[in-house]
Structure 1
């Protein structure tokens, strides 16, 4: 009887009748965002990670050292349909980003939000410099973020409808997301903690939820076996991410950067949404979701994750903030809201890659280049391939027959690997990150063209090492496509088959 009364109370707290969906406003806002993304999809060149995804996709596997198989599979499929097309490669990120805008508005509707709240939610998503702009390139985070939004919607919708198929659907999308990144379990742990704390605890007694969880685990078995046989490299990526975060402020900057990624309007709605979910009587049934952004933030701070790992839950939290704003904000505060929207629009327009490449200036320093990685990480691949080709052709013909290329960086290796046929290059290898698991140089490779680095590593591996070339792109990243030395390495000190495992590095 007690359980029945609790269930009835929870249902009474849920909105009895939903507002009509604001198709006109929401689709217009999402459409403008989509058009802005589409206008920039062909800008500059491939981002380094995109090259890696295509290269990994040509070597389809159940798992990779640094990610799941879904994004490489997407890259392989798009490259198969439209070989070499940047626009085709980036379309999936555009589509899932636009879909996340629509679904975020649907979440606002589930919270009982008016058409204005739904439009405000969509506007906050579209004016986020991170949530929108990540749709300009194929990335694991663009796919992961969208899936978090969809899963949030299904869980939140279940609270109102109690249709257990929604929980099964959320589990199915979780299984898909686990093939992208291993971050979604943090979301589910936060949801479970929130439900245990605030209810509805009935969710945790639903067989569909646990059946879906079992299905997720079953689908992960091949990936887990792959990882276990290679000493769990994907877990080892955590140390690398932590090292990278130390370079940008570490834990001290995590919260400001995480909130800032939502944009001006988005940040206000995220903070308002957390308060509304935890305090607003009309959202009492969804109070459990108020702790989700707090708990995942704490988890990623403790584990030294990246600030943008938390943005997947922003769609739902901004929706709650929009519901609060449209119900409680009046008078001059509405005009302040209009100002926030305008500032947010200007901010997101400013960070979109509109500037023609010819008008871009080289980064003033290596630090500036890495700080603007999303721009400078798209240049220099052709120059790198041409320099490698020139150095390769300088080799005597007898040595070219047994030579290979080893690149210092997985970005370099991916770019050269994809340009092999075009530039007539030999097989390409790299001990860096996931590329190191793609294959080992043959022991017959007694001559190596080593691309990048300061020569320390090739000198440790080869008896004779000589600088034979240079690659330099005006807009490239120093150490990747700008100011690069090519080394000729002869007479390896030991067979590559025995040396390669110790050379592998996730850094």
Structure 2
């Protein structure tokens, strides 16, 4: 792939695509409600630290900055994820240009990001998943610059992105291991002898060090959390064929030919120079397939395949203008059809009607859960304030002297975080929970003699309290099934809460 190949920039087309994607996210940012994980990350931002049980600390620090600059409105919380979606469009087009793609390839690469169901979902919320693809794509872009420009200094950039990625989400190890594997299997292994590799590793370790020390100090709780998650029964375990079918579904079936072409491109004569990156991408897909990982874990690798696929299609269709016109049109039509299924464009009532037209087809399924009116990614935005209101009614019906030492205990991090987010406006104290990092934050000053318990069937509470009485019901419309339950008023804990706390951890 000659670097002096004449190719123009498609910025006049790419930038409008990026802006439209950002605008779509901003216009729908406040359509429903706040998402479960967003509530949790806000709680983490109010307990800033170098680590958390189930995730690295970067998202908490980003959330803290947002809260202290833009505020806590849905639009404020979701501005950065929206901008990240536009940046991903632009970066994918830049990769296509860097790798020799002309204006059409750059346009197609950018367009391919817009209608991807899993991106439309994950870049709607302020979570670490919104920023993860940027680190993956940046690493592959830097690796290609090392190869094409014969410049090992980009190894340092890979180290920076790896360190930031580790502070964002531990899954950044997958593209790094894949890239190492790809380099070892090609002549590009020569770059592993560069002095810049040691610098790269040192930079990555230095950036990751605060969280690494936290993990060591707490006994690597993420490993326990991940093991329990795999054994919980909520994770969908997919066979090889089903996993690959899922890839086509969550990435938009119309785009499957493009990323398959992208994989094939690296094994052609034209793509030989970048074969190590193609091997890395294939390795990541096969590795996560073999690990029976969640199907969306591999999604950050696809922008690279869209870029290479766009280059390949541009060359294959050089004399077939109708393909160049028809395929983008198919992408646009599929995007318009799928968007209401994965973005909060329609009201819940109209979504249900539209969903029924698709025979209740859901492009993305995160967990193996019972049927509900809305998909999980929508239902997790409903019911939180209503739950808090019901809890507040129970709390304020207690005598003032009892309120002073009544704890609000949640069996789920989402419930606990919702109480902490909405509770102050209803006069509620901060919650306590045995879930995720809430357990590390402890029982505060409470002795457990008076506890409002959320998310329990009451049977387990009877083992620890002298009296357990139903006090209210949570049954918000459109919320998920496990967010419909009875709230219990529990009194007279035994043994004391401080003695019981180490034994009720739920990771």
Verify same fold: TM over 0.5: yes
> Does the 8 A contact of 1:250 with 1:304 survive in 2?
yes
Residue 187 of structure 2: aligned partner: 199
For residues 218 and 453 of structure 1, the distance between their equivalents in structure 2, rounded to whole angstroms, comes to: 43
Residue 270 of structure 1 aligns with which residue? Answer: 259
Deviation at 1:131, TM superposition (A): 2.1
Aligned residue in 2 for 1:496: 497
Q: CA deviation at 1:244?
A: 6.4
Paired position in structure 2 for 1:130: 118
User: How far apart are 1:297 and its partner, in Å?
Assistant: 2.0
Deviation, structure 1 residue 222: 2.5
Per the alignment, residue 8 of structure 1 pairs with none
Conserved in 2, the CA contact under 8 Å of 1:127 and 1:265? no
Tell me by how many angstroms 1:247 deviates. Answer: 4.7
Q: Distance in 1 between the 2:325 and 2:84 partners?
A: 32
Structure 1 stretch 395-404 or stretch 327-336: which is displaced more?
327-336
Alpha-carbon offset, residue 307 of structure 1: 1.4
Range with greater deviation from structure 2 (391-400 or 317-326): 391-400
Q: Is the 8 A contact 1:413 1:430 kept in 2?
A: yes
Residues 1:396 and 1:413: Cα distance change in structure 2 (over 3 Å): same
Q: Is the 8 A contact 2:93 2:307 kept in 1?
A: yes
TM-superposed deviation, 1:79: 1.4
Question: 1:261 and 1:454 mapped to 2: Cα distance?
Answer: 35
Instruction: Show the counterpart of 1:347.
Output: 337
1:449-498 Cα offsets, whole Å, 9 max, x none, are: 00122113322222221111112211211222xx3211111111112222
- In structure 2, relative to structure 1, the CA distance for the partners of 1:132 and 1:164 (3 Å cut) is farther
Whole-Å separation in 1 of the counterparts to 2:237 and 2:181:
29
Q: Hey, what does 2:279 align to over in structure 1?
A: 291
- 1:225 and 1:471 map into 2 onto residues whose CA distance is 40
**For structure 2, which runs of at least 5 residues remain unmatched after alignment?**
361-367
* 2:74 counterpart residue number: 86
* Equivalent-residue separation in structure 1 for 2:352 and 2:259 (angstroms): 35
Cα distance in 2 between the residues matched to 1:390 and 1:361:
32
1:446 to 445, 449, 455: 449
Partner of 2:244, secondary structure, is helix
2:26–2:78 Cα contact (<8 Å) kept: no
Partner of 2:347: 356
- Count of matched residue positions in the alignment of Structure 1 and Structure 2: 491
Name 1:392's counterpart in structure 2: 395
**Structure 1 residue 335: Cα displacement:** 5.4
Contact 2:248 2:256 in 1 (8 A): yes
Q: Does 1:426 align with 2:416?
A: no
Distance 2:86 2:328 in 1: 23
**CA 1:48–1:204 in structure 2 vs 1: closer, same or farther (change >3 Å)?**
same
SS of 1:479's equivalent in the other structure is helix
Which residue matches 1:46?
34
Q: CA offsets per residue over residues 6-42 of structure 1, 9 Å max, x none?
A: xxxxxxx443335122111111211221111111111
Q: Which residue, out of 69, 74, 87, partners 2:62? A: 74
Aligned-pair CA distance for 1:360? 5.5
Give the whole-Å Cα distance in 2 for the aligned partners of 1:30 and 1:188: 27
Instruction: Give, in whole Å, the separation in 1 of the partners of 2:460 and 2:133.
Output: 38
Aligned to 2:486: 485
- Whether the 8 Å CA contact 1:241–1:306 is kept in 2: the answer is no
Distance (whole Å) between structure 1 residues aligned to residue 2 and residue 463 of structure 2: 66
TM-score relative to the length of structure 1: 0.91
Check conservation: 2:373, 2:478, Cα contact below 8 A.
Answer: no
Q: Distance in 2 between matches of 1:100 and 1:108?
A: 12
Please give the root-mean-square deviation of Cα atoms over the aligned residues, in Å.
2.3
For structure 1, which runs of at least 5 residues remain unmatched after alignment?
Answer: 1-12
Q: Compared with structure 1, are the counterparts of its residues 104 and 370 closer, same or farther at alpha carbon in structure 2 (3 Å cutoff)?
A: farther
- Secondary structure in 2 matching 1:200: helix
